[in-house]
Amino acid sequence: MATSPFDALIAGAGPAGCAAAITLARLGRRVALLNRAPSHAGWRIGETFGGEIRPLIERLGAAAEFASVPRLAFRAVRSAWGSAEAFERPTMLHPYGEGWHVDRAAFDDALKRVAGAAGVVLSPGDGTRPVRDAGSGWTAGGVVARYLIDASGRGGPALPGRRWIQNDRMIALAHRLPARAAGGELLIEAVETGWWYSAPQPDGGLVAAWMTDPELARAPAYERWRDALALAPHTSARVGSPPDDPPCAFRAETGRLEPSSSNEDRWVACGDAAWAGDPLSGDGVARALRSGVAAAEAVHRALDGGVLEMDAEPAYRTFLERQARFYAMETRWPESVFWSRRR
């Protein structure tokens, strides 16, 4: 890896990091993209995109690569939230039409290919190497850059000493299940100990995840998962016989990175590294792509002599207000620990 200075080092090669890298490279900047491996390398929970993802992919010039990503049409959301009855809303009502259930690992790989084609240097290695302030720039894995974009994801600041502020402690306990006779809808179902998410996968399988708080899912996790599933009749009917092996745990809390106190720090954060929202919002990847583009444009202006500015706080506050409205709609369990924490 060359050690001559880059204009920007991007820590994290997920959607936000790739969007930032592609945007900066096409603005004529020299960019290094540092892979930071997910906590479950090779195991991704899957992703459901709404129609709003389409113009964002096109803006990044990634439509051709996206066409090769395994996907399944996403045509409806069915939810049992605030009521035991499940109601369905077709995605054709969305301004951009239906979306897709996609292979998330393949989607990230497609974005990396677009970044490479744009001239971004992809740093080899496992992405766990720390980023250090080298005085006149930032360095990691032999790369030296003038500016840093932290796209390292939820709760994992690339910079030592930066604090992640949690708004809650929600986790997702998920299983990838073999082929199921399920439709193409996304199903959301509230239960006393949290809520369930399930969605079909392009390979014919099904992802089912229980969203809850850590102390409500203490070991043995597979027994708690089964107990929670038994309380969710719509999800149970879809899952069938639950697996015997324990589910895989993922962080799913809402939180944000401690804001910078100076415009002279020469770094910005984007995507889930700036702030991460409850998966209930369903727009995490679209938000990451928009945030990555905004971070790249902010760094581009700073490289031209402007002030490096990117304020994520207004969007985060707006999200918290919307999140509170959603949780207030579920009133069936007034004594529930999970729900009382969110009212």
**Rounded to 5 degrees, what angle do the CA atoms 120, 258, 274 make?**
35
Q: Is residue 17 situated within a structural domain?
A: yes
The H or E element that residue 290 is part of is: helix 284-303
Residues 267 and 156 in one domain: yes
Instruction: Answer whether residue 1 shows pLDDT above 50.
Output: no
Instruction: Answer whether residue 235 shows pLDDT above 80.
Output: yes
Query: Residue 230: which domain range?
Result: 171-252+326-340
Residues 205 and 229 in one domain: yes
Q: Are strands 31-34 and 121-123 parallel, antiparallel or unpaired?
A: parallel
- Among candidates 74, 80, 79, which has minimal Cα distance to 93? 74
Residues 229 and 135 in one domain: no
How many domains, the chain? 2
Please give the model's pTM, rounded to 2 decimal places.
0.93
Give yes or no for a contact between 179 and 205, defined as CB atoms under 8 angstroms apart: yes
What mean pLDDT, rounded, does the chain reach? Answer: 89
- Alpha-carbon distance of 307 to 7, in angstroms, equals 15
Residues 57 and 108 in one domain: yes
Q: Is residue 270 situated within a structural domain?
A: yes
- Alpha-carbon distance of 74 to 199, in angstroms, equals 9
Q: What is the pLDDT of residues 272-281, one digit of tens each?
A: 999 999 888 8
Residues 46 and 195 in one domain: no
Residues 160 and 18 in one domain: yes
Q: Is residue 43 situated within a structural domain?
A: yes
The β-bridge partners of 187 are: 78, 198
Residues 58 and 114 in one domain: yes
| Exposure string for 281-305, b = 16+ CB within 10 A, e = fewer | ebebbbbbbbbbbbbbebbbebbee
Q: Is residue 96 situated within a structural domain?
A: no
pLDDT value of position 206 = 92
Q: Is residue 207 situated within a structural domain?
A: yes
Residues 190 and 287 in one domain: no
Q: Is residue 317 situated within a structural domain?
A: yes
- CATH code of residue 151: 3.50.50.60
Residues 175 and 280 in one domain: no
Instruction: Report the percent of the chain where pLDDT is more than 70.
Output: 90
Q: Is residue 22 situated within a structural domain?
A: yes
